[in-house]
């Protein structure tokens, strides 16, 4: 929680960086001047905005436009859990408050991870291949109960993943930046990862986590281990993962996020043996845009009333700290 | 629990109906005469057996051979949860005790059902199709938390499925033959099924359950509902399911069991829109044969010691009654 630099009035300019109009903003009609920008107009509009809503969270336009001259919005909200796409040194050093969509994605992403874990344990991808080939081939599959997961990222998403996997009787270990009750620090990571059946990346992208899943770490994992990334593509050195799969250092992987998104048709990742590719959709369940819109309106109403904001990002850390 | 007709001696003949030798029986060497039969020799061997272990649980040989003349084994154990493949009026009317593999498949099948539920909610089959086509296409998926499941079959498998789905925050209703605490009777079935997002068949095959999922019942389900069968193929009228999928009375289905197994390459089921086909493997996790062998040896040791057997099937009902 933090005190807002100032409350809004009907004269407040709310600038929305969007590709398509966000839902639920109608509630703010007459209470703010709502303007829209796209990546090509953002730099020009930014000095005239009091509040910036980053709805197009796939865009790097904020990071690019922010360092320019002139006044800057006092508050930036991003309709995403990660803030890596907008942060730059000038924004980090400024007085501007940054908030994120903490909470909206926790349960959907946790369910998605459970879906991938179970699909891999039960060999569902092979089942689909065999179905397509009209081939009846019985196989033995794996029990997930009693297996071990190491979840990297101890924010609300990582903790919800841990709770969901525990409900499936999987033994879970959470690793975060700061050790605290129930959460291991970075010093324990290699040891926990080396004995995990499931290594799950759900960390924010920061200087500390960039490229953390590299050849050394894939080489440490068990040959039977599976790796899942629902965090950010840049947590993973993709070439190292490709090598780990090709050389069977690990048994399989699933990526929902990539260094470059969307993945182009010529990417080698589409056909890596043992890799499941999905298009950055783990958190996006039916109604998610509505929920993101509603969450922003709630924050806006706090701001308007001069109350303190929640979901405030620590701009140095790159995420919302604390439980 | 029931008292065994008599305890065994080293002269006891244990006849094993198998396609491949069961593991763990080595423990009984010198304690019983172990003989093997296949479907072609079973009728001839049956009169000389004290105990019959049905290890080849895909075979109907027992049902066919049992009505013949001569003495019959006093105890028959099947390494399966269902007993439909061996029951016949003559066996039902006899004094022979029938036991099954109750317990071995509960957790594996429950995990398999959870895998299918989550895979369908998260649209994983489409994800695999798109991956194969190297196509990046973001979709919204479904949350499973807050959805409703109706589980038909209130034995240990059905109850473990319910517990597992509840852990995923799915609201569950169990339907069994006899209403009791926490379990609905058949009178509630249609009402519960009509409002379920997931209808899961995990019942034994009996006169009451044969063909119970027919056109009338598929027609009652919600258009958004998915149907999963991990019980026995004959619970389902397959043509009615095909019609329900083709006409979009329901949104999807997954069958692990079929009226005729193995499914032949020319079966229309392989390519029904929205149907996931798997080769009767939901309960078969790594180590399952060992576990089945160990379970039989434990039962055999009870029998040998003149103690009462467990997992005793009510031959009229066609399953092990009670909690």
Handedness of CA A10, A13, A15, A21 (dihedral sign): positive
pLDDT at B123: 98
Could you say which residues from 141 to 170 on chain A have a Cβ atom under 8 Å away from some Cβ of chain B? 141-145, 164, 167-169
- Per-residue pLDDT, B200: 98
**pLDDT at position A2, please?**
47
Q: Judged by CB atoms within 8 Å, which residues 52-81 of A form the interface with B?
A: none
Residue B264, min C-alpha distance to chain A (Å): 8
If we measure between CA atoms, which residue out of B83, B99, B90 comes closest to residue B318? Answer: B83
Closest CA–CA distance from residue B93 to any residue of chain A (Å): 35
Starting at the edge strand found earlier in the chain, the sheet holding A226-229 runs A171-175, A148-152, A198-201, A226-229, A252-255, A275-277
Q: Best of B103, B119, B255, B264 to disrupt the A interface by mutation (most A CBs within 10 Å)? A: B119
Q: What is the rounded distance in angstroms from the CA atom of residue B13 to the CA atom of residue B52? A: 9
Closest CA in chain A for residue B144: A111
Cβ distance of B286 and A142 shorter than 8 Å: yes
Let me know if the fold of A13-104+286-304 is the same as that of A106-277. Answer: yes
Mean of pLDDT values over A73-94:
96
Mean pLDDT, all residues of chain A: 95
Contact criterion met (CB < 8 Å) for B265 and A140: no
- Kindly determine whether residue B276 and residue A137, on different chains, have CB atoms separated by under 8 Å: no
Question: Mean pLDDT of residues grouped by 10 in chain B (323 residues)?
Answer: 56 93 93 95 96 93 94 97 95 97 97 98 98 98 98 98 98 96 97 98 97 98 98 98 98 98 97 97 97 97 95 96 79
Pick the CATH number of A106-277 from 3.20.20.370, 3.40.1550.10, 3.40.50.880, 3.40.50.720: 3.40.50.720
Domain definitions of chain B by residue range: 13-104+286-304, 106-277
Q: What backbone torsions phi and psi does residue B319 show, to the nearest 5 degrees? A: -160, 175
Cα of A151 to nearest chain B Cα, Å: 18
Pick B279's closest partner by Cβ from A107, A136, A145: A136
Cα–Cα distance measured from residue B178 to residue B192, given in angstroms and rounded to the nearest whole number: 16
Could you please state the CATH topology (level 3) that the domain comprising A13-104+286-304 is classified under: Rossmann fold (3.40.50)
Residue B126's alpha-carbon distances to A72, B119, B136, in angstroms, are: 43, 10, 11
Q: Which of residues 264-303 of B touch A (CB under 8 A)?
A: 265-267, 270-271, 276-281, 284-288
To probe the interface with B, which of A103, A109, A115 has the most B CB atoms within 10 Å? A115
Task: Give the Cβ contact number of residue B265 at 10 Å.
Answer: 10
Minimal Cβ distance to B285: which of A136, A143, A287: A143
Residue B134 contacts A, CB cutoff 8 Å: yes
**Closest residue to A167, CB basis, from B128, B167, B267:** B167
Closest Cα of chain B to A23: distance in Å? 16
pLDDT for A323: 64
Q: Would you give the DSSP letter of residue A103? A: T
Closest approach of A26 to chain B, Cα-based (Å): 23
Neighbours of A11 (CB within 10 A): 8
Mean pLDDT value of segment A55-83: 94
Peptide bond into B262 cis (omega under 30): yes
Q: Which of B114, B137, B285 sits opposite A140 (nearest CB)?
A: B285
How distant is the Cα of A118 from the closest Cα of chain B, in angstroms?
5
**Test mutation, A105, A109, A131, chain B, max B CBs within 10 A:** A131
Q: At what angle do helices A106-121 and B106-121 cross, to 10 degrees?
A: 130
Q: Shortest CB distance from B112 goes to which of A122, A128, A131?
A: A122
With beta carbons under 8 A apart, name residues in chain A contacting B172: none
For residue B108, the distance in angstroms to the closest alpha carbon of chain A comes to 6
Name the pTM for this structure.
0.95
A vs B, Cβ pairs < 8 A, gives 143
Question: Backbone phi, then psi, for A171, in 5-degree steps?
Answer: -80, 125
Q: What is the chain A residue with the closest CA to B285? A: A141
Q: Closest CB to B128: pick one of A128, A263, A265.
A: A128
Name the B residues in 206-245 with CB < 8 Å from any A CB: none
Nearest Cβ partner for A280 among B138, B169, B279: B138
What are residue A172's phi and psi, to 5 degrees?
-120, 145
Mutate to test the interface with A, among B80, B134, B163, B286 (most CBs of A within 10 A): B134
Report the interhelical angle of B106-121 vs B124-132 (nearest 10°).
60
Q: Mind listing the pLDDT tens digit for each residue in A282-316?
A: 999 999 999 999 999 999 999 999 999 999 999 99
List of chain B residues whose C-beta atoms are within 8 Å of the C-beta of residue A122: 111-112, 115
Please give the helix or strand (H or E) that residue A65 lies within, else none: helix A61-65
Q: Mean per-residue pLDDT for A50-74?
A: 94
| pLDDT exceeds cutoff 70 at A130 | yes
Q: What is the pLDDT of residue A166?
A: 98
CA-CA distance, A114 to A120, in Å (whole number)?
10
Select the residue from A278, A283, A285, A286 to test the B interface by mutation, using most B Cβ atoms within 10 A. A278
Tell whether B187 lies on the interface with A, counting CB pairs under 8 A.
no
Q: Which of A263, A266, A286 sits opposite B142 (nearest CB)?
A: A286
User: Would you call A141 and B285 a contact, using CB atoms and an 8 Å cutoff?
Assistant: yes
């Amino acid at each position: 929680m933090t005190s807002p630099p100032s409350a809004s009035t009907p004269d407040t300019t709310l600038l929305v960086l969007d590709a398509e109009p966000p839902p639920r903003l109608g509630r703010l009609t007459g209470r703010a001047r709502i303007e829209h920008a796209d990546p090509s107009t953002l730099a020009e509009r930014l000095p005239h905005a009091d509040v910036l809503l980053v709805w197009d969270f796939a865009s790097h336009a904020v990071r690019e436009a922010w360092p320019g001259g002139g006044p800057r919005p006092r508050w930036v909200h991003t309709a995403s859990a990660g803030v890596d796409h907008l942060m730059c040194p000038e924004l980090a050093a400024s007085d501007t408050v940054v908030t994120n969509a903490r909470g909206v994605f926790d349960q959907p992403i946790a369910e998605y991870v459970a879906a991938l874990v179970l699909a891999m344990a039960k060999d569902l991808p092979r089942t689909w291949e065999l179905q397509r080939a009209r081939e009846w081939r019985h196989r033995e599959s794996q029990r997930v109960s009693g297996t071990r997961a190491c979840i990297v990222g101890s924010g609300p998403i990582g903790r919800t993943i841990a709770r969901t996997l525990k409900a499936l009787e999987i033994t879970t270990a959470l690793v975060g930046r700061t050790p605290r009750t129930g959460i291991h620090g970075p010093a324990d990571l290699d040891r926990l990862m080396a004995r995990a059946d499931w290594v799950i990346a759900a960390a924010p992208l920061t200087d500390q986590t960039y490229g953390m899943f590299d050849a050394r770490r894939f080489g440490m994992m068990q040959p039977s281990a599976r790796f899942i990334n629902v965090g950010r593509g840049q947590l993973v050195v993709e070439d190292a993962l490709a090598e780990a799969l090709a050389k069977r250092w690990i048994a399989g992987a699933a990526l929902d996020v990539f260094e470059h998104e969307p993945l182009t048709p010529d990417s080698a990742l589409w056909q890596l043996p043992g890799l499941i590719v999905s298009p950055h959709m783990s958190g996006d369940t039916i109604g998610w845009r509505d929920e993101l819109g509603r969450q922003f309106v709630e924050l806006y109403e706090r701001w308007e009333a001069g109350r303190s904001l929640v979901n405030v990002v620590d701009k140095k850390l790159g995420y919302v700290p604390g439980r």
